[in-house]
């Protein structure tokens, strides 16, 4: 076991750091205050080829592994940036790479790799189904021209900044299938052709995260919009969700590292009662403890990423890494608020922005309760506490 980065991986990390250095804290505060998509940042990452790392070389990508994608996303968040603006571009691709037809791959992947097309959006969650994905009701009816989709999605992020969207819809109703998770299919929707059949209504959230409710009415899709096998969309999606969890864990590890770095710097310079506050165990111990928690979460994330890259089962490790990393980031956010005292609340200091952003990953893309239920049942063999069709 060698946990050191290879010389190439160090170059990737440093390359991303160099891009991030052009987007300082003031940039992130400005886009946060303006509730604006960080377009310049996403463009800079795209131009540098950092968002197409998982696209195979024959389609114009870098052909790298999930391990390298982790390095990239961790570096972004550890620099104070927010990879949420574009992380989906990296992992949504997985479904297309693994299950797309040769024609779909040739048509889309080189364009995505070149930065001319964005595949940043994935519509799974529905208002009535929530974490129980098997209960989605958005329905794709087959007709002579392909499919006609009707339904509703919620919290579909970055639609306004994406040309393509991966959509999970039922092609058989839940009552018609043997297992609740059967009968769902994945579609690649060209948003530029959707016109008024997708009504997008932005949802204002506590973070600058462009997300929407979608009302889909008679959306016509050609037969070749189907990705992979009709009816097997849930299983196909789950594989991609493992990648998503490993990458989100990396962002959270990056967030935790950023908080710790800020805490260490501030605790060393802020003098109260005649000495740096960091000289007090009440201040330094929580910082040291969360540093250790983040390191441990980072190691489990590497284990999950190595299994994923080896093509082995990694559901347990991906889920556990996501839970531990998101908890470490949230703990670090709390520690930073304490360390900074009143200044933690001041917008110009930046802690409160990251504090809000770090909170998301306790909930999305899968809640930590659902992760815990999965580990209890599937790893430890305890009785099932939730229905089939959850996102784990």
Ligand X SMILES: Cc1cc2nc3c(=O)[nH]c(=O)nc-3n(C[C@H](O)[C@H](O)[C@H](O)COP(=O)(O)OP(=O)(O)OC[C@H]3O[C@@H](n4cnc5c(N)ncnc54)[C@H](O)[C@@H]3O)c2cc1C
Binding residues (CB under 6 A) for ligand X: these are 122-125, 130-131, 155-157, 205, 209, 211, 360, 363-367, 369-370, 373, 386
Q: How far is the CB of 382 from ligand X (least distance, A)?
A: 13
Q: How far is the CB of 132 from ligand X (least distance, A)?
A: 7
Residues 166, 188 contacting (CB under 8 angstroms):
yes
Q: What SS3 state is found at 243?
A: helix
Nearer to ligand X, 235 or 364 (CB): 364
Residue 219 sits at φ, ψ, to 5 deg, of -80, 115
Nearer to ligand X, 157 or 252 (CB): 157
Q: How far is the CB of 390 from ligand X (least distance, A)?
A: 7
Give Cα separations from 193 to 109, 164, 188, 190, 205 (angstroms): 18, 10, 12, 6, 28
Q: How far is the CB of 131 from ligand X (least distance, A)?
A: 3
Return the ∠ at Cα 96 (arms to 124 and 308), rounded to 5°.
85
Q: How far is the CB of 362 from ligand X (least distance, A)?
A: 8
What DSSP element (H or E) covers 288?
helix 281-309
Q: How far is the CB of 386 from ligand X (least distance, A)?
A: 3
Q: How far is the CB of 117 from ligand X (least distance, A)?
A: 18
Nearer to ligand X, 29 or 205 (CB): 205
Nearer to ligand X, 115 or 130 (CB): 130
Residues 332, 260 contacting (CB under 8 angstroms):
yes
Give Cα separations from 172 to 124, 137, 308 (angstroms): 16, 10, 30
Q: How far is the CB of 318 from ligand X (least distance, A)?
A: 15
Give Cα separations from 303 to 246, 312, 355 (angstroms): 10, 11, 27
Nearer to ligand X, 306 or 369 (CB): 369
Nearer to ligand X, 344 or 365 (CB): 365
Dig out the tokens for 172 from the structure: 């058989």
Nearer to ligand X, 32 or 68 (CB): 32
Closest by CA to 141, choosing from 199, 216, 200, 218, is 218
Nearer to ligand X, 260 or 360 (CB): 360
Which letter does DSSP use for residue 210 in this model? Answer: -
How far apart CA 190 and CA 218 sit, in angstroms, is 14
**C-beta nearest to ligand X: residue:** 130
Q: What SS3 state is found at 165?
A: strand
Residue 114 sits at φ, ψ, to 5 deg, of -80, -5
């Amino acid at each position: 076991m060698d946990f050191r980065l290879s010389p190439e991986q160090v170059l990737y990390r440093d390359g991303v750091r160099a891009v991030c250095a052009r987007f300082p804290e003031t940039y992130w505060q400005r886009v946060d205050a303006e509730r604006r998509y960080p377009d310049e940042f996403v463009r800079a990452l795209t131009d540098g080829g950092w968002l197409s790392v998982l696209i195979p070389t024959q389609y114009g990508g870098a052909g790298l592994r999930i391990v390298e994608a982790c390095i990239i996303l961790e570096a972004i968040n550890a620099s104070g940036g927010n990879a949420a603006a574009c992380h989906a571009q990296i992992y949504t691709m997985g479904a297309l790479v693994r299950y797309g037809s040769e024609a779909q791959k040739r048509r889309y992947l080189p364009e995505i790799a070149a930065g001319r097309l964005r595949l940043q959006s994935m519509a799974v969650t529905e208002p009535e189904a929530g974490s129980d994905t098997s209960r989605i009701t958005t329905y794709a009816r087959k007709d002579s021209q392909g499919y006609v989709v009707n339904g509703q999605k919620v919290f579909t992020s970055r639609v306004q900044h994406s040309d393509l969207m991966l959509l999970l819809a039922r092609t058989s109703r839940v009552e018609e299938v043997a297992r609740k998770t059967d009968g769902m299919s994945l579609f690649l929707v060209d948003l530029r052709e959707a016109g008024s059949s997708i009504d997008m209504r932005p949802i204002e959230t506590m973070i600058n995260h462009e997300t929407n409710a979608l009302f889909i009415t008679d959306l016509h899709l050609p037969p070749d919009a189907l990705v992979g096998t009709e009816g097997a969309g849930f299983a196909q999606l789950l594989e991609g969700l493992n990648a998503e969890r490993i990458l989100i864990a990396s962002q959270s590890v990056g967030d935790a590292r950023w908080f710790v770095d800020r805490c260490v710097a501030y605790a060393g310079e802020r003098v109260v009662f005649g000495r740096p506050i960091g000289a007090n165990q009440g201040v330094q111990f929580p910082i040291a403890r969360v540093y250790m928690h983040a390191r441990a979460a980072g190691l489990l994330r590497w284990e999950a990423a190595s299994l994923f890259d080896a093509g082995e089962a990694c559901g347990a490790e991906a889920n556990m890494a996501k839970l531990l990393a998101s908890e470490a980031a949230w703990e670090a956010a709390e520690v930073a608020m304490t360390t900074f005292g009143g200044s933690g609340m001041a917008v110009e200091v930046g802690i409160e922005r990251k504090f809000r952003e770090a909170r998301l990953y306790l909930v999305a893309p899968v809640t930590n309760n659902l992760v815990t239920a999965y580990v209890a049942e599937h790893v430890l063999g305890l009785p099932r506490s939730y229905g089939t069709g959850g996102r784990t």
